[in-house]
């Protein structure tokens, strides 16, 4: 018997899972058919935390099977998925589908320009030592407002956000955990509701991610060149620990200056700056949109490589996202213990495994691109403290 399900088509990827309880560690072969013709096949051998939390062995039974580029033209058809030696049909299929269209579709400008050009929506938990730097840095890059959801912080984050809210820098939204519900996606939905009609572009990023205009300048000036796109996907640049064992009080951008190479597989993930009016539903990496296309800085449509959330841009030279995933070993332990907002508090997958530190602690390339901004960031932090204390 094969258990499993077709979940969705995301970009070129057909997504789902397949598992045989009698052979729980075996990766099942999965075949995808469109109108009875085999279009792709592979193994259900990818890890998903929700499968692990549901007791589906160790969670390594998801599949993301890539459709041929030639099919990505918006055509309709009947999708079937079979798994295992007995060609067992998976749940949710056969089903009528409309395949995505990977051709760029421009969108018209908004009828009325919103009062704000760019805002950030994020969820935070115990980010007190880093938040003022992160906010100051992004204000200098042209971010005009922040909607920050406070997910049960106990380290001074609440006091800082309350003070910043009093002077109008942020919207501070308490966001406690709800049993069996992951906090991040609902927060993004609520954040979009707050920002819809209020700003044109929204960046959905985390507090350990710093937008980085590689050649200097500000983010709104870059976005102005992509105003016919629904959104701009911004590629990660994963930074390691620089060998640091302990937390110190210097700026994050100064302490961690070594990262994985631009073409490293970890840097395939993206986050999105999207036109708020075109979001159908926010998501962690790439939202679903009502019209138009998400593109990278070279105009390539997100999803043309596979899943829209995984879109390699090794040749990015305008805007990247410095992701300080590990920081020092001491800071990693704190990060691990507070858990992931992408998983419910009562989920077995809430805590990151320590192997994530080892897999992300890559320090192959020295990158000082944000260090040049450090003095300006310190000055802006001092200005924000003055504003809060006045």
Residue 105 lies in a domain: no
Whether 348 has a pLDDT exceeding 80, the answer reads no
CATH assignment of the domain containing 235: 3.90.550
- Overall average pLDDT of the 347-374 stretch: 92
**Chain mean position to CA 347:** 20
* Separation of alpha carbons 257 and 363, rounded Å: 8
Q: How many other C-beta atoms lie within 10 A of the C-beta of residue 259?
A: 26
Do 91 and 133 have their domain in common? no
Into how many domains does the chain fold? 2
Q: Measured on CA atoms in the order 328, 329, 334, 338, is the torsion positive or negative?
A: positive
Q: What is the mean pLDDT of the chain?
A: 95
Do 284 and 135 have their domain in common? yes
Alpha helices in the chain (DSSP H): 49-53, 131-140, 157-166, 184-195, 219-223, 252-255, 329-338, 355-360, 374-389
Residue 292 lies in a domain: yes
Residue 162 DSSP symbol? H
- What residues form DSSP beta bridges with 65? 14
Tokens of 194: 């707050």
Report the number of secondary-structure helices (H) and strands (E) in the chain.
9, 21
CATH assignment of the domain containing 42: 2.60.40
Do 294 and 194 have their domain in common? yes
Do 241 and 363 have their domain in common? yes
Residue 109 lies in a domain: no
Do 289 and 256 have their domain in common? yes
Do 124 and 88 have their domain in common? no
Do 93 and 121 have their domain in common? no
3-state secondary structure at position 215: coil
- Overall average pLDDT of the 25-36 stretch: 97
Among the candidates 98, 129, 159, a domain finishes at 98
Do 43 and 165 have their domain in common? no
Do 202 and 275 have their domain in common? yes
- Residues 228-252 have pLDDT tens digits of 999 999 999 999 999 999 999 999 9
Residue 133 lies in a domain: yes
Do 72 and 211 have their domain in common? no
3-state secondary structure at position 65: strand
Tokens of 110: 């908004």
Among the candidates 98, 127, 161, a domain finishes at 98
- Residues 182-199 have pLDDT tens digits of 999 999 999 999 999 999
Do 139 and 286 have their domain in common? yes
Do 176 and 320 have their domain in common? yes
Taking alpha carbons only, the member of 178, 206, 173, 223 closest to residue 284 is 206
Residues making up the chain, counted from first to last: 390
Residue 257 lies in a domain: yes
- Residues 142-154 have pLDDT tens digits of 999 999 999 999 9
Among the candidates 98, 130, 150, a domain finishes at 98
Whether 215 has a pLDDT exceeding 90, the answer reads no
Residue 311 near residue 302 (C-beta atoms within 8 A):
yes
| Domain membership of residue 130 as a residue range | 116-389
- % of the chain surpassing 90 pLDDT: 91
- Residues 254-273 have pLDDT tens digits of 999 999 999 999 999 999 99
Residue 104 lies in a domain: no
pLDDT given for residue 346 in this prediction: 79
């Amino acid at each position: 018997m094969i258990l499993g399900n077709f979940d969705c088509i995301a970009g070129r990827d057909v997504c789902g899972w397949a598992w045989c309880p009698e052979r729980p560690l075996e990766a099942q072969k999965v075949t995808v058919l469109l109108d009875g013709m085999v279009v792709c096949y592979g193994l259900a051998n990818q890890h998903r935390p929700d499968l692990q939390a549901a007791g589906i062995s160790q969670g390594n039974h998801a599949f993301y099977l890539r459709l041929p580029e030639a099919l990505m033209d918006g055509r309709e058809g009947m999708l079937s998925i079979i798994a295992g030696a007995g060609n067992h049909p998976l749940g949710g299929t056969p089903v009528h589908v409309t395949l995505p269209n990977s051709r760029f579709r421009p969108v018209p400008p908004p009828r009325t320009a919103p009062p704000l050009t760019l805002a950030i929506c994020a969820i935070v938990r115990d980010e007190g030592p880093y938040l003022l730097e992160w906010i100051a840095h992004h204000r200098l890059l042209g971010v005009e407002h922040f909607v920050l959801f406070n997910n049960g912080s106990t380290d001074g984050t609440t006091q800082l956000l309350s003070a910043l809210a009093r002077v109008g820098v942020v919207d501070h939204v308490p966001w406690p955990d709800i049993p069996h519900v992951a906090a991040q996606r609902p927060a993004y939905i609520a954040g979009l509701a707050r920002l819809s009609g209020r700003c044109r572009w929204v960046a959905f990023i985390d507090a350990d991610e710093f937008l980085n205009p590689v050649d200097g300048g500000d983010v709104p000036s870059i976005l102005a060149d992509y105003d016919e796109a629904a959104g701009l996907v911004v590629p990660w640049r994963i930074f390691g620990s620089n060998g640091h064992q302990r937390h110190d009080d210097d700026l994050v951008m100064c302490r961690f200056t070594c990262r994985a190479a631009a073409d490293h597989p970890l840097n395939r993930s993206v986050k999105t700056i999207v036109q708020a009016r075109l979001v159908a539903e926010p998501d962690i990496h790439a939202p679903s949109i009502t019209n138009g296309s998400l593109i990278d800085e070279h105009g390539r449509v997100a999803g043309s490589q596979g899943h829209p959330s995984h879109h390699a841009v090794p040749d990015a030279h305008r805007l990247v996202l410095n992701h300080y995933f590990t920081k020092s070993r001491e800071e990693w332990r704190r990060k691990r213990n507070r858990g992931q907002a992408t998983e419910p508090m009562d989920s077995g997958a809430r805590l990151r495994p320590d192997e994530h530190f080892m897999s992300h602690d890559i320090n192959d390339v020295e990158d000082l691109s944000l260090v040049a901004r450090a003095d300006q960031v310190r000055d802006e932090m001092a200005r924000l403290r003055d504003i809060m204390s006045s």
